[in-house]
A and B are shown apart, each in its own frame.
Chain A
Amino acid sequence: MAAETSYLTGARADLEQSELAEEHLMLDPRPREEMNQMVMEAMTTTTPVYWAWVGGLALIVAVCLFGVWGYMTATGIGITGIRRPVFWGVFIVTFVFWIGISHAGTFVSAILRVFKAEFRRPFTRAAELMTTFGLAGGAMYPLIHLGRVWTFYYMVPYPNARWLWPNMRSPLVWDFLAITTYLLSSTIYLYLPLIPDLAMARDRTTGLRHRIYRLLALGWRGTEAEWHRLRKAINIFAFAIIPVMFSVHTIVSWDFAVGVVAGWHSTIFGPYFIIGAILSGVAAVVTILFVLRSAMRNFKYFIRPEHFDALGKLLLVFSMAWAYFFFNEYLLSWYGGEEAVQRILTLHATGPSAWVWYLMLICNVAIPWLTLWNRRIRRNPLAMFFITLAINVGMYAERYTIIPLTLGHQRMPFDWGIYNPSIFEISIAIGTMAMFCLLYLLASRAIPLIPVWEVQEGQMAHSLKKVGKAHVPSVTELE
């Protein structure tokens, strides 16, 4: 397990090595059994505070999400604030928000795996879980927002007595298929690296839990052949899921870009949505990492300032890329010269809801650009927590600008209208937020949130590489 630090000698070397160990999880190995027990302990410890959170969130989900949804199904979609011409409101905004967040979770994990970025090891699972639960929340909205939710199965392609196939020209059907594909593939991608950890949990539990883990671990024994196949499968999925993510989020953007709505009908929407999704998703990963680090036992060992530092750099890059596409949208519509689009873009900044637009720019551009260049801020988990929260507020504002604010000022000024969300819509949006947190809370006690075997693999095989002035752990020899 010794690090390849032979070029360092004497007391200075010892000092540097202890500093490096404190800095990098990969250089701070602990005995395998101790680490297993740390994760198991975090998983099996439940405090009254935990149960209070679970109860509170479950109550919010029951009342704000399912209660209000039931009430809306019984009375009509009119209890929301939508009106002609703004037929899509908070529901679709929150839908795109969740889909964006969830797309980036798996993407971050896959792309860092593909590029062999070593700092990914302790938090890939947290990001992948975010994908699954974000999709669970987001995928509800296409149902919630329907006028007649009890006929939702008209969208499902199956041979039926109505003799009708869904309209494959409709972006909503593409959306339906894309999200289902992504849910399936990202769940498999979450499950594959989970198998050895489930086996680890299986060997350290008794009773019902033991039986469930035994079932889920698929009889994992840890033979060389099993590891070989697992690595191969993970590798295939990591590569395959990146194009899937790109295509799926492009399809979500086509919900808008395919329409003739001024301000939506833009070829820039595909990459613009993808960058937005990655920005909000990486931000959400950081937010979640901070919460896990502060709430879960032993997690301060696994999740360190180096991870916030690295993700902060990513965030800064994506924030800049997002700003580029944002600017590009204006440039292209200016060049295109369509009057309706120009008027909409002007109204975003000067109209009655301009504060949303400014909120978006402050949160997505000003805050990250002013703070994330600074290493000390990047390495401060609490500061990163607030910055990433702000980024997600900004991304929500972006979707709000794109959907209701664009719909409200279309080509015929006589029909312009302002949309005000009703308390019911907001409550359902809060309800899915609570559902996300609740699912995460429950999962944190059901499966190991740290991919222990990946951390151990990294610690066993790591070496130091000199990149510029910095020493970066690397395990390229292993793979």
Chain B
Amino acid sequence: MAQVTEQPRKWGMVIDLDLCTGCNACVTACAMENNIHYTGEDEVAYGRGLYWMRIQRYWHGEYPNVGPEFTPMLCQQCGEAPCEPVCPTYASVHSNEEQINLQVYNRCIGTRYCANNCPYHARVFNFFDYEIPAPMNAYLNPDVTVRSRGVMEKCTFCVHRLVHARIDADTQGDPSLENEVTTACAQACPTNAIMFGDLTDENSPIRTLFERSERGFQIMEELGTFPSITYLKGGGVYGGRD
């Protein structure tokens, strides 16, 4: 069964900041895809929203020439993730199969050390048992665990989609099926600012962008976390300087 993937894949993402309009479609899609609890207005305002992805909005320029800059921020699926070594119970682990960083909810005891140590603040914590209001509980994605109180959670690169794609590719004997997989945020992005793909695949459209784009950079590269997300910036399409 596993003969199709001879070497582990490395999933990656390219986010073009010049294309991002800050519309929050990715945030919404992510919340629907991953059964993310709605914690209420007050809690979100206090900084306890459970969003796995958020749009950071910065302003640049001096009044009146002020413009917004949007940075979609999510778990960077670091190659050397700071969250992994600090977890006492191996709840934050690296997956060999997908080369991403996963959170095992059942092992998590809620020390929250991983969240402190994440320079991207990508992790969110279930502070309470949240109720899912009436019609919404019928919407739950059966592929994704609903998290309970007291555990950490974060972006998984839609690992359930990756696993489904791998199983489909294996059972139907067609490896190309696996290349078509994408995450909920990338799927929802109206400007195609978020692109997802396999970095080990020669033909993957994002591989060149990820590795060689002149506009490419990685956030907090200097920390040596080896993120799996490359951001592109500098085209001056929208929100760019001059």
Contacts and interface: CB of A to CB of B under 8 A. Distances in A.
Whether both chains belong to one complex is answered with: yes
B51 to A, nearest CB: 10
B110 A407 contact: no
A147 B150 contact: yes
Query: Taking chain A's interface residues, is the majority helix, strand, or loop, or is none over half, making it mixed?
Result: loop
Contacts of A148: 108-110, 149-151
Contacts of A166: 88-90
B112 interface: yes
Interface string B78-119: 000010011111100000000000000001111111011101
- The number of chain B residues touching the other chain, given as a range, is 35 or more
B185 to A, nearest CB: 18
A172 B112 CA distance: 11
Nearest to B113: A172
Contacts of A223: none
Interface in A321-343: none
Contacts of B152: 147
Contacts of A70: none
B166 to A, nearest CB: 25
A42 interface: no
A84 B87 contact: no
B116 A147 contact: no
Contacts of A15: none
A78 interface: yes
Given A148-B110, A166-B88, A412 B120 contact: yes
Contacts of A83: 46-48
A410 interface: yes
A170 B125 contact: no
Nearest to A338: B222
A473 to B, nearest CB: 49
A23 B48 CA distance: 60
A76 B150 contact: yes
A259 interface: yes
Nearest to A262: B119
Given A167-B89, A260-B82, A417-B47, A146 B223 contact: no
Interface string A4-39: 000000000000000000000000000000000000
Given A167-B89, A261-B117, 17 more contacts: A76-B149, A78-B48, A82-B127, A84-B49, A84-B115, A87-B125, A142-B111, A145-B111, A147-B111, A147-B152, A148-B110, A152-B109, A170-B85, A172-B113, A412-B56, A412-B73, A414-B73
12 contacts: A88-B116, A142-B111, A146-B109, A147-B125, A147-B126, A148-B110, A154-B109, A167-B88, A170-B87, A173-B88, A258-B86, A415-B56
A413 B151 CA distance: 25
A164 B82 contact: no
A146 B85 contact: no
Interface residues of A, number: 43
Given A77-B150, A84-B48, A147-B125, A170 B113 contact: yes
A151 interface: yes
A414 B122 CA distance: 12
A167 B90 contact: yes
Interface of A: 75-78, 82-85, 87-88, 142, 145-149, 151-152, 154-155, 162, 164, 166-167, 169-173, 176, 255, 258-261, 407, 410-415, 417
A147 B56 contact: no
Contacts of A171: 86, 113
B117 A260 contact: yes
B115 A411 contact: no
B164 interface: no
A75 B149 CA distance: 9
Contact of A75 (B57, B110, B113, B128): B128
B63 interface: no
B229 interface: no
Contact of A87 (B116, B128, B150): B116
Nearest to B225: A260
Contacts of B223: 260
A407 B223 CA distance: 17
Query: Taking chain B's interface residues, is the majority helix, strand, or loop, or is none over half, making it mixed?
Result: loop
Given A78-B127, A146-B109, A417-B47, A172 B121 contact: no
Interface string B15-50: 000000000000000000000000000010011110
Interface of B: 43, 46-49, 56-58, 71, 73, 82, 85-90, 107-113, 115-117, 119-121, 123-129, 149-152, 220, 223, 225
Contacts of A155: 88-89, 109
A77 B127 contact: yes
B38 to A, nearest CB: 14
A255 B116 CA distance: 11
- Most A CB contacts (10 A, CB to CB) among B43, B88, B115, B129 go to B88
A167 B150 CA distance: 19
A155 B150 CA distance: 16
Contact of A259 (B117, B128, B225): B117
B124 A84 contact: yes
Given A78-B48, A148-B108, A152-B109, A411 B119 contact: yes
A410 B121 contact: yes
A147 B110 contact: yes
Contacts of A151: 109
A172 B108 CA distance: 13
Contact of B119 (A75, A84, A260): A260
A166 to B, nearest CB: 5
B186 to A, nearest CB: 22
A150 to B, nearest CB: 9
Contact of B125 (A84, A176, A260): A84
Contact of A172 (B49, B88, B124, B150): B88
A411 B221 CA distance: 12
A412 B85 contact: no
Given A83-B46, A88-B112, A171-B86, A76 B117 contact: no
B80 to A, nearest CB: 10
A162 B223 CA distance: 34
A343 B58 CA distance: 18
Contacts of B71: 414
Nearest to B45: A83
Contacts of B109: 146-149, 151-152, 154-155
A176 B90 CA distance: 16
- Most B CB contacts (10 A, CB to CB) among A77, A258, A417 go to A77
Nearest to B124: A84
Contact of A76 (B82, B115, B128): B128
A421 to B, nearest CB: 13
Nearest to B85: A169
